[in-house]
């Protein structure tokens, strides 16, 4: 469960911060090109943050008390594989979800 | 039909296939947010004021793990940093428009509106700034109302779902599904690999700070590999 005090601090700060990022150059007309090293880093922000966000939870899910769960591990693997092959986020979500529920049903 | 109206329609049509992804994704956000303990009002306020899917999911995930506020913000904002590039890329095309126009565009600057506008400018570089703006808002009209409506639908569904359908794994699956199609070059693959390996090694670091270290090193590694390949090629 999300702590509501934290939520009400995060909400305005994240809204403001995200808007500031979007407004940065468009609003101020700082149309100077960014240094090459910076654009190079920005290109990799999403692939650097998102896997780190999920990897520990995939291997040690909170729902099983941190014990590695074959169903969740397999679902994660299928999601990644289908996403890589089809390049479709929706196909990957559906395949991963189907794998998880099928395996949980078999195990349960 | 005026050229501006035509441009608006072109943006609307070009962005409409994206609704296939945007709709279900927004429903999922509504469901996951209410499952995490937010009520419908909080969920909608969140989705309207932030309006950036991936970072909304990232904030939900880290808040659920009771990470400190500063870690939640650093993670969610890092996910949005790619938009600096969007802002830089669009700036020269809209400089002559009034500030209020650009301020409104900034709010609606998302993956879909950016991709549509850039592709259309590429195809018709002779467009005026007002036509380009019309393309942008055509794309916005295709995806933004749907995003809000589908988030709301998801929140209502999530409220109705009994807690035993614990969707604890919906977030990891969503993130993996978003990342996999991005892994289209060696530097992207290396960055993702470093990100996974370090986040597991550093999982014991307090307050989710391992995540920030893993992400920073992974980002620098991706950039480094790209540079190294350019140097060779």
- Whether the predicted pLDDT of B202 surpasses 80: yes
* Contact (CB<8Å) B169/A72: yes
The structural domains of chain B, with segments of one domain joined by +, span 3-169, 183-233
Structural contact between residues B167 and B29, judged by C-beta atoms closer than 8 angstroms = no
**Cβ contact (<8 Å) for B176 and A76?**
yes
Residue B100's pLDDT is: 93
Q: Which of A28-32, A75-79, A90-94, B95-99 has the highest mean pLDDT?
A: A75-79
Question: Is B219–A45 a contact, with Cβ atoms under 8 angstroms apart?
Answer: yes
Confidence band for B179, pLDDT divided at 50, 70 and 90: confident
Residue of B nearest to A13 (CA): B73
What is the per-residue pLDDT for A22?
95
* Average pLDDT taken over every residue of chain B: 90
* Mean pLDDT value of segment B115-140: 93
Q: pTM for this one?
A: 0.82
pLDDT at B171: 78
The pLDDT of residue B205: 81
* Cβ-nearest to A24 among B38, B84, B222: B84
Q: What is the mean pLDDT of residues B2-8?
A: 95
Is A41 close to B220, i.e. CB distance below 8 A? yes
In this prediction, residue B17 has a pLDDT band, given cuts at 50, 70 and 90, of confident
Q: For residue A79, give how far its alpha carbon lies from the nearest alpha carbon of chain B (Å).
A: 6
Per-window interface: B 100-139 vs A, CB < 8 A:
102-103, 105-107, 109
Question: Does the CB of B90 have a partner CB in chain A at under 8 Å?
Answer: yes
For residue range B22-65, list pLDDT tens digits in order: 888 899 899 989 988 999 999 999 999 999 988 999 899 899 88
**pLDDT of amino acid A108:** 64
A93 Cα to chain B: minimum distance (Å)? 6
Cα Rg of chain B, angstroms: 20
In chain B, pLDDT over 90 holds for what percent of residues? 58
Q: Comparing A46 with B152, which gets the higher pLDDT?
A: B152
Residue in chain A nearest B211 by alpha carbon: A52
Confidence band, pLDDT 50/70/90 cuts, at residue B92? confident
Contact criterion met (CB < 8 Å) for A90 and B177? yes
- DSSP assignments along chain A, one per residue: ---HHHHHHHHHHHHHHHHHHHHHHHHH---SPPPHHHHHHHHTHHHHHHHHHHHHHHHS-GGGTT---HHHHHHHHHHHHHHHHH--HHHHHHHHHHHHHHHHHHH-
Q: Convert the pLDDT of each residue in B128-141 to its tens digit.
A: 999 999 999 999 99
Indicate if the pLDDT at residue B233 is higher than 80: no
In tens, the pLDDT along B160-173 reads: 877 656 567 877 88
- Measured between CA atoms, how close is A73 to chain B, in angstroms? 10
For residue A84, give how far its alpha carbon lies from the nearest alpha carbon of chain B (Å): 5
Distance between CA atoms of residues B148 and B48, nearest Å: 7
Domain boundaries, chain A: 1-32, 46-107
Indicate the residue of B50, B179, B199 with minimum beta-carbon distance to A15: B50
């Amino acid at each position: 469960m999300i702590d509501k005090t934290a939520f009400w601090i995060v909400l305005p700060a994240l809204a403001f911060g995200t808007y500031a990022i979007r407004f940065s150059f468009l609003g101020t007309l700082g149309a100077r090109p960014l240094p090459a090293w910076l654009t190079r880093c920005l290109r990799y922000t999403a692939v650097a943050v998102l896997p780190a966000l999920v990897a520990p939870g995939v291997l040690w899910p909170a729902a099983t008390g941190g014990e590695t769960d074959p169903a969740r591990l397999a679902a994660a693997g299928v999601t990644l594989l289908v996403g890589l092959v089809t390049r479709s986020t929706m196909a990957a979500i559906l395949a991963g979800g189907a794998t998880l529920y099928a395996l949980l049903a078999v195990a349960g | 039909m005026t050229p501006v109206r035509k441009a608006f329609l072109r943006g609307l049509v070009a962005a409409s296939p994206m609704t296939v992804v945007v709709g279900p994704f927004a429903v999922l956000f509504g469901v996951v947010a209410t499952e995490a303990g937010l009520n419908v009002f909080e969920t909608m306020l969140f989705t309207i004021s932030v309006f950036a899917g991936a970072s909304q999911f990232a904030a939900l995930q880290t808040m659920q793990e009771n990470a400190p506020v500063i870690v939640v913000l650093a993670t969610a904002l890092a996910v949005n940093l790619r938009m600096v590039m969007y802002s830089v890329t669009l700036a020269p095309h809209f400089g002559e428009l009034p500030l209020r126009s650009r301020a409104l565009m900034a709010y609606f600057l998302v993956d879909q509106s950016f991709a549509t506008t850039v592709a259309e400018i590429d195809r018709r570089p002779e467009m005026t700034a007002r036509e380009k703006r019309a393309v942008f808002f055509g794309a916005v009209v295709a995806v933004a109302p749907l995003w809000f409506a589908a988030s709301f639908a998801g929140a209502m569904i999530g409220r109705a779902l009994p807690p035993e359908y614990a969707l604890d794994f919906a977030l990891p699956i969503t993130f993996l599904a978003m990342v996999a199609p991005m892994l289209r070059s060696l530097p992207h693959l290396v960055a993702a690999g470093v990100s996974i390996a370090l986040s597991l090694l550093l999982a014991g670091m307090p307050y989710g700070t391992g995540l920030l270290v893993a992400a920073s090193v992974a980002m620098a590694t991706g950039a480094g590999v790209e540079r190294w390949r350019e140097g060779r090629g």
